[in-house]
């Protein structure tokens, strides 16, 4: 009689998990992927820094191990508890000297990176290696899966441990959510990291005279994933490799693009408690109510004959929002409306606010991020604008599709993988889900904007495209299966 195989023990190492701490899409991924992996035979635990949000939010915390003073932290304790909502087990590192700081987990009050970030995230990676070593007597990972540069040094510490023992005990996977954020520090900090000196070279973590946490993950993990297939190809081609083309080429055969998913427990207009009325693809009355509620909330004039466009984004150069600023004139002149939420670069904040002052009936802006309002914006809008210069995956275009807000996107990265343009051919074949533009310039963007207005005039076609988008499957089921298969490839032993 055959027995069920033992579950694969997987440790996810990251710096954010929704709903306790979120500064971007990474937190949505680390919240939604682990519960889905458990359906595929994985026993998942998380490891995070002991930021106040985690210390105050993780349920039933208790001590696993007292660790030696390390990286400037006098007290280092490995704690264990559960995530609220999902119950996913979480270790957090209680090191007040490094993590107990108010506000942003990465930057000080002036928006500058903390001077000791190399130590703060070295401790995260070092603790991952200690769990591999067996510091939790009752649980030892078969796989360590690290996310973004914050977890990058975990793979160097694990590799150094393998060199010391002459034994490989754990498979490793590193996911790059954005190549542009690399965790680069001056080379002199290497002496503070407690790593073999032989790792400070081109065949290691050295990057143009710096220490690179991202390169550490790329170089030492068994497999490297990006968050969409197209982005994996873009960094292979060098187009989006951000200076790391050499190591990307070196690891090309171990590089896999796996598309991010959407947490359907959180993002579903049929059940979403954050929106003014629920709706589904066969009954869109609730969407009309959400649109009117959004117009009222934002101080816009109530109208239904022209589309409502929205932006929910960080205001950063990557996001292509200068195109949105330039295109607001077209939206206003044609009687459309725009709802914009986010913060970041000051000039973008001021440019959007200036439009809102001049056209208060048509343009509304909210500086900052509000999770509940984001849901209401998707539910009340007709088009979501995502004209990113580059986009490893992107989640907001998926949220838009599911909520009946057609995505208008630059055809790059995950945007290319998730949106099909409303060309005549695609409309005829009932494949279209939004609007795409190829060249990253204003004329191409404006052309897509005008096509959105034109399609909105043909409501029968608009409803077909909207229905197609709302019926797309962006759940984590398929992607989780691919991660589980990847884990089994790199697992050590039977």
- 48: nearest Cα among 76, 101, 86, 90: 90
Q: Residue for token digits 């009752």?
A: 138
- 17 bridge partner residues: 21
Which residues fall in the annotated binding site for ADP-alpha-D-glucose?
Answer: 22
Rounded to whole angstroms, the Cα distance separating 64 from 62 reads 7
Burial class (CB in 10 A: 0-12, 13-18, 19+), 314: middle
Tell me if 248 sits within 8 A of 183, measured CB to CB.
Answer: no
- Residue 244 and residue 219 in contact, taking contact as beta carbons nearer than 8 Å: no
Q: Where are the extended beta strands (E) located within 249-332?
A: 255-257, 308-312
What's the rounded Cα separation, in Å, for the pair 101 and 58?
17
Q: Is the distance from CB of 398 to CB of 421 less than 8 angstroms?
A: no
Whole-angstrom Cα distance, residue 455 to residue 37? 40
Tokens 């077209």 correspond to 330
Show binding-site residues.
Answer: 22
In this structure, is the dihedral angle defined by the CA atoms of residues 28, 312, 256 and 212, taken in order, positive or negative?
negative
Q: Cα separation of 214 and 183, whole Å?
A: 6
Which helix (H) or strand (E) is 254 found in, with range?
Answer: none
Looking up tokens 């458990």 gives: 38
CB 117 within 8 A of CB 90: no
Report the chain's terminal Cα–Cα distance, integer Å. 19
d(CA 241, CA 245): 5
Cα 3 from chain centre: 37
Spatial CA neighbour of 339 closest among 277, 379, 381, 302: 381
Whole-angstrom CA distances from 339 to 236, 313, 365, 386 are 36, 11, 6, 13
């Amino acid at each position: 009689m055959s027995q069920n195989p033992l579950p694969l023990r997987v440790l996810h190492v990251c710096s954010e998990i929704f709903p306790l701490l979120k500064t971007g899409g990474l937190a949505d991924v680390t919240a939604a992927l682990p519960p889905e992996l458990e359906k595929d035979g994985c026993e998942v635990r998380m490891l995070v820094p002991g930021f106040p949000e985690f210390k105050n939010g993780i349920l039933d915390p208790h001590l696993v191990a007292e660790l030696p003073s390390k990286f400037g932290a006098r007290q280092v304790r490995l704690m264990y508890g559960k995530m609220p909502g999902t119950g996913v087990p979480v270790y957090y590192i209680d090191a007040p000297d490094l993590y107990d700081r108010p506000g942003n987990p990465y930057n000080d009050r002036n928006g500058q990176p903390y001077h000791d970030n190399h130590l703060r995230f070295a401790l995260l990676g070092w603790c991952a290696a200690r769990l591999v070593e067996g510091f939790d007597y009752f649980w030892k990972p078969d796989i360590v899966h690290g996310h973004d540069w914050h977890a990058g040094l975990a793979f160097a510490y694990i590799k150094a441990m393998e060199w010391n023992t002459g034994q490989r005990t754990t498979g490793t996977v590193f996911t790059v959510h954005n190549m542009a954020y690399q965790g680069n520090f001056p080379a002199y900090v290497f002496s503070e990291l407690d790593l073999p000196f032989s790792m400070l070279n081109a065949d290691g973590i050295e990057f143009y005279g710096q220490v690179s946490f991202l390169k550490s993950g790329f170089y030492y993990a068994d497999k490297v994933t990006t968050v969409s297939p197209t982005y994996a190809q873009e960094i292979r081609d060098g187009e989006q490799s951000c200076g790391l083309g050499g190591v990307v080429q070196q690891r090309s055969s171990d590089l896999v693009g796996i598309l991010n998913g959407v947490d359907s427990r959180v993002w579903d207009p049929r059940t979403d408690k954050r929106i003014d009325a629920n709706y589904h693809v066969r009954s869109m009355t609730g969407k009309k109510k959400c649109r009117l509620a959004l117009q009222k909330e934002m101080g816009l004039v109530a109208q239904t004959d022209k589309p409502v466009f929205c932006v929910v984004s960080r205001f950063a150069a990557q996001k292509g929002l200068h195109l949105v600023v330039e295109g607001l004139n077209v939206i206003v002149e044609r009687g459309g409306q725009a709802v914009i939420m986010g913060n970041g670069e000051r000039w973008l904040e001021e440019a959007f606010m200036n439009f809102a002052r001049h056209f208060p009936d048509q343009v509304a802006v909210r500086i900052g991020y509000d999770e509940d309002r984001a849901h209401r914006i998707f539910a009340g809008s007709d088009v979501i604008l995502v004209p990113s210069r580059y986009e490893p995956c992107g989640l907001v275009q998926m949220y838009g599709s599911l909520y009946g807000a057609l995505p208008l996107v630059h055809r790059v990265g995950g945007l290319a993988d998730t949106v099909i343009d409303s060309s005549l051919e695609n409309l005829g074949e009932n494949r279209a889900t939004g609007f795409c533009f190829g060249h990253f310039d204003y004329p191409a963007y404006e052309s897509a904007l005008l096509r959105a207005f034109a399609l909105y005039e043909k409501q029968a076609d608009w409803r077909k495209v909207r229905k197609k988008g709302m019926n797309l499957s962006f759940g984590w089921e398929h992607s989780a299966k691919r991660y589980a298969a990847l884990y089994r490839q790199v697992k050590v032993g039977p």
